[in-house]
Structures are given as C-alpha cells and as structure tokens.
Structure 1
C-alpha cells in the first residue's frame, strides 16, 4: 500500500524564492522593520498568502515577539467572563496580537502551571482575571512577563497593572436601592474562599454591603452567607434561605451567575419575585435583561474592563514600567426582580 507523501512545510526561504527577494527581506517584512517599502511588503505578503505560510510562534519569539497574549480565567461557567473577553478582543482587533485562554478552575496551583506553560510558549504578556494566587507569586510572575490583573484589588502594586470595578460602591448601591424600596432583612450571598483577603472582589463587596447596612440603620439585619462557586452549592444554600422561618426579604448575590440560580429556586418554590423575596445580582450580564429573569444587577462593564486591561498590557509590552491602577464606576440597573419599573441608577464619579 502506497503511503501518502508528507507535505513539505513552507518556510521563510520558500516565500523568498516565490517572491523573488532575499530571505532577509522576508524577515524584515515579518518583523515590520523600519524602511520596508509598501511594494516589497505587498510582494512578500502575496507570496505568503499564495503558499499558506504561517510563521512559527517559536521562531517569532526568537525575533523578539510572538504577538500572543495569555488570558487566565478562574473559570468558564460565569457569563461575565465572556464580556471581559469581548472587551479584550475589541482592543486587539486592529493589532497583531492574539489572545490564548487558560482556565485555572479557581486553583492557584493550576494558575501557576498555566502561567509556566504560557511563558514556555513565549507569550508576550498576561491578563489574569480574578487570580487566586498569593501576592508574592503575582510579583514573581510580573517580573518574568508583563502582567495586568482584573478583579484583584492591589492599588499599591508596582510590578503590574490592575483594572477593577469599585466593588465597595457597587454593593453600597444595591443595599441603598433595596432599603429605599422598603426592604430591611437583606442577606448577602457571597463566595466561600479559603482566606478573606481585602484584595478579593467578594471581600470588597462584603465591606460595601456591611457599611451600607449600617448607614441605612439596618446593621442588626446584616447577614453574610457564603457558598462555593457552583450551581449545586448555590441552589442548596438558596433553598435553605428561602425555606427558613426567617426568610430574608431580599437576597443580594455577589454575581449574576449565582443570582440566576437563586431566582430559579424561588420560582420552583412558588415564591413571588419581588413580592415574596427580592433578588439582585452583580455584573449585569446579558441574561439579566431576559424577560423571564428581569434581574436587577450592578453594571461594572465587563467589556470596558477587558478593553482597558488589554490596552495597559500592550503599553507594558512596549516598555511602560510605572504601574497603573484603574477603578471603574459601577451603576445599578434596577429591573422587576427588585422593582416593578426598570430604572438606571448611576454612581458618583470614578475613583
């Protein structure tokens, strides 16, 4: 039986021969080197397209850059992360950079393994979304490769940039909205974490919730309950809260992903939302606006977070060393899960 002949790989030399130019000329076009004429660039690019030439990432890395960026997500079940990716893609649309995604399953050990793999593949920079690793590990990573963090409050960091929502303000807006429509017994459903650290978005939101409850004269009703970031855990805890003798008047969830699970359980139990219990989420993902959900939520503009992170990362790759820490201003979008008539409540100026 005849064996199929292996297709020969198209190399930079193949392109040079087809275009009738030197290997050095093709290299200059690939590197976007200074002084390359439009005619030469067009000739080389035409040969690359005809031959189907794709430069190896490793070879590009040897010439200085691979034009790939690592994006590390803590999980892929939260729809908010797709908003962040949309912003990153929008920022990179007119650049040579391409994002490659890794998912850590919210485990710091997996984060470090993925970062090592990304660095081995000579990625030019990293965007870390809600990382779980320790501050010392973050510093170590940032000394090895340009890095930007989303959803991690470290305003004093000097080795990397951060882009965050003002999570304290966002939680404050929720409590004052719920108190304003008459609710007193407001429970905050937060995320179960091994250590409560002020850098975490959930801890920041707990601070905002607790402060606002006190400011509204509702300190005695303050209650924070925590669950793992899984639909099963969220539903179990929601059922416990909604079937308790002291059922809360309102449940404020740290993310829409969890709030939608609570909304589902309330519907299963035959409860009226917001008549029997008001439910509020955080992130204002696309599912909030669906008629069957109509979920009140805090809009922290995931697309803008992603866009700003990508912009800052490219600036770092190009040589900026001074750290920047952006804080975006959230707004509350009230829908029928807490209010009969949809309204939008803006926050004060950005921090």
Structure 2
C-alpha cells in the first residue's frame, strides 16, 4: 500500500459535505492499510493569509518524494503555483468543484482563482473528483487530461432509524448558511404555501455570518417564524432523527459539484426537490426528484406543493428514491477507488 499524506485546511470535523467526504476517505484509506498522515493546514483557504500560505508551502515541500500527497481542493485551487511546484511528492488533487464556480465572487477574484487552479492542476499527477460533472468541467475548461481524472463517488451510510414521517409533514433542507445553498429562495417559495399544513427545518452552520443573519431576518419578514426552524449546525446523531421524520428533502442550491446530502436523502427514501444545476441532475435520479431552474421561486414552490399535495406522486418518488438509495456506494467503495489511484502512482 502506497504511503501518503492528506492535507486538509482547518478542522476536519467541520460539518460540510466536502469535509465529511475527506474525513471518511482518510479513515477508509487507513482501514485498507495505507500509512496515511493527516496534515492540518490553515483554515483561511481558499483566501489564505500570508502566514497560512507560507506554512502550507513549507509543509508540503518538506514531504519526501516517496510519500504521495492528496491535497484538498480549497488549498489546491488557491495555493501559490510556484510554491506548489516545490513539492517533490507526487500530487493527487482532490477537487470537489472548481473554486471559480463559487457563488458571489467578484470578477477579479473569480479570474484569479480560475487561473491559479488551472495552472496548479497542470502540476497534479492524478485528480480525484466526486462526480462526472466535475470531471467534465476540469477536462473541458481547465485542460486536465481525462486520463488523469478518477471519479470517486461519495459513499453513503445506511440509515440507522426507521422512516417515521411527522404530522404535519416536515420539509427538511441541509446545507451551510451560504448564498450558494439557496435558502433564501426556499424561504420565499415556502411563503407561497402557507395555505398548506407543513413545517420546515433548515440545518446548516453559519458559514457566511452576514447571510445567516439575513436569512433569520427573512424568516421574520415572511412571517414564517412559527413554521420554519433555522436549526444551525447539527451533529450527525441529531440529524438522523430529522431525516427519519421528514416527508421530503429540498435544497434550492445554486450550484453543487456533487451534493452528499442528496445521497443521504435517497438512502432514506425521501422525495427530493432541488435545482437543475451542476451535478444535481446526475446525482438525483429521474423519478426520485423534481428539479427546477435556479432561483425560480414560483417553480420551486409549485414542486414542493406537488409533492406535499399529491400522494401518488409522493409515493412514486419515494419508491424511486428507495431503489436508488439501496444501490448507492459505501465509503469503503470510495476508499477502494482512491486506493487504486495511490497504488498506481
């Protein structure tokens, strides 16, 4: 088994899809027998401070050439190219989605991130991505040879609790409080459905504090305070019951390079309402979800209303979700895919 190091910025226990993926991958590779060192880099990436940039370059450049380096995409797409070129270890870039695709970037920052990530990808020996969508973007827009890219689809833990939908129906959304996740769109869609009986829970930490405050204000402005709960960051043991009690899952995302939460919903047989963007159409199987255009409040509201109001539609989507969920890979499968990449270096 190839020795390797996995460099990840900040706290690996952070509750986002990307961190969950990398935490499970790190443990999975170790379970397979890899001597895998975890390197914690500064938490300011992808907009690193000077100190965090210097620390990352010096730490990675010190790795011996016989220990492969898996480098998280938040760092990979933003670290100084000349500094990355000093790394002697063979590099496996872990790209969840290109940094320049993030919502809300000004043109100068977007251009900088695109150039940096494109130039840095030229230094990668291999590239790991979670979806065919990200693979396609890297090969067509970033000049990465398809032969260098391996798709390691995220694994999924099977649910530990039986599905016991609450009454009234509960709408569950899981995603950090960041503009890209589209919670503002969801709240506006929910405000059009107050004639129906439902409750909604939005789970996600305040990744963008200003946006989190704006969402709380929007809940009050739309008079949804008695129906919508902004639950904040929720531990996995507390999140499982929320999935078990949900009637449907929704995320009005503006872009996803994959979206682990969709697999978590499928594993629990939940109908999904989301947006036709990024990797979502490839992740949510036809029949299990209704996908609407990004930012289309009336369309999102209509899709949610249809799932809540039409028992036949909801039942058919539930069966499709259960079928797809049963076929999802495990985290052991994800680790085996990444292991084959390391061993082939």
TM-score (ref. length: structure 1): 0.37
Q: Which has the larger radius of gyration?
A: 1
TM-score, normalised with respect to structure 2: 0.38
